[in-house]
Copies of this chain bind each other. A is one copy, B any other.
Amino acid sequence: MPKKIVVIPGDGIGKEITDGAVAVLQAVDKKYKLNLDYDYYDAGGTAYDKFGVPLPEDTLKAAQQADAVLFGAVGGDKWDNVAPDLRPEKAILGLRKGLGLYANLRPVKTMDALIEYSPLKPDIVRGTDVMIVRELIGGVYFGDKCEEEDYNGTKRAWDLENYSIPEVERIVNLAMQTAQGRKGKVTSVDKANVLATSRLWRRTAAQVAAKYPDVKMDNMYVDNCAMQLAINPTRFDVIVTGNLFGDILSDEAAVLGGSIGLMPSASIGEQTSLYEPIHGSAPDIAGKGIANPLGTILSAAMLLRYSLQADEAADAIEKAVKDVLSQGYRTADLYSEGFKKVNTEQMTQAVIANL
């Protein structure tokens, strides 16, 4: 039976970058006989324009029944005045909840060929190889929220940050297992000097860690982590943290590590998992065919590895991406003199040629 991949291009450059990734998947499919099959669905502002909602039920249902989801990007100024509950980003939040995507894995690896794109000095960033494991369907993101008059008669808004022991156990277990396949080191990030949720998090993480004697765990406050990522990024192997801290730290890490256009992510669910580049929908360059497809292509490699256990094919894609960069191919976002400037389609073909 074919493996069903639901492709959700979304908005802006979403179409061109998922086209690139699908072309690469089709090429490895030929070589490694993966038997992949693709269905396309709408989400984000595009879906809102067509159906009045950012996440149509058909899209969610198809995603739930798929073997894996490849996601582009959503959002754009165009929908700035849409009601909060109907904004494009509700599509990705809805998919996370609807698919139970409890963990977001974001590798940040500084390739030597791209070290110049990091804002950090080369001596600091060289060798950076961090995997951020972010809890994705809990915390203040999905806690109760409201706005009403408080006892003083003034307006006040509330958001409930919260974590349960099983939620923390699940994500820390995944981080520990991830570290076992890497350098065996986990840094658990919280704000235990202030938050009750962080104290429960830290206590639970210690209990989980005790079950993995081959992994070393340390704890770090989130403010310190924001500093250490900038001055000492190579000290990290796996970072595990909650939804909100993970949102901030993974974006910081991505940009410090080098080009954000290259960074993939995997959102792991109990059944289906979802894969997307970490960059946004870049409406300013949408439709021009110049977007960098590599973040999405590397996300497709993660899809093969995590959802289809097709490690060989995943390795081939990752190696091909390294090769095209060493060969000097650059999309506009990374271009500087002396390199070969290519558009989305040409970059995609260059990757395929290197498979």
Contact = CB atoms under 8 A, between A and B. Distances in A.
Interface string A82-125: 00100101000100000000000000000000000001110010
A283 to B, nearest CB: 15
A100 B121 CA distance: 41
B159 A161 contact: yes
Nearest to A195: B159
Contacts of A254: 227
A166 interface: yes
A122 to B, nearest CB: 9
Given A226-B248, A255-B230, A260-B227, A158 B196 contact: yes
Interface in A23-72: none
A163 B150 CA distance: 10
Contact of A147 (B124, B154, B200, B224): B200
Contacts of A222: 247-248
A180 interface: no
Interface residues of A, number: 57
B154 A196 contact: no
Nearest to A90: B193
Given A121-B121, A162-B157, A164-B156, A227 B251 contact: yes
Contacts of A194: 93, 140-141
Nearest to A252: B226
Count the copies: 2
Nearest to A200: B157
A162 B158 contact: yes
Contacts of A162: 156-159
A2 to B, nearest CB: 36
Nearest to A140: B161
A319 interface: no
Contacts of A255: 226-227, 230-231
A244 interface: yes
Interface of A: 84, 87, 89, 93, 119-121, 124, 140-141, 143, 145-147, 150, 152, 154-166, 191, 193-197, 199-201, 222-224, 226-227, 230-231, 244-245, 247-252, 254-256, 260
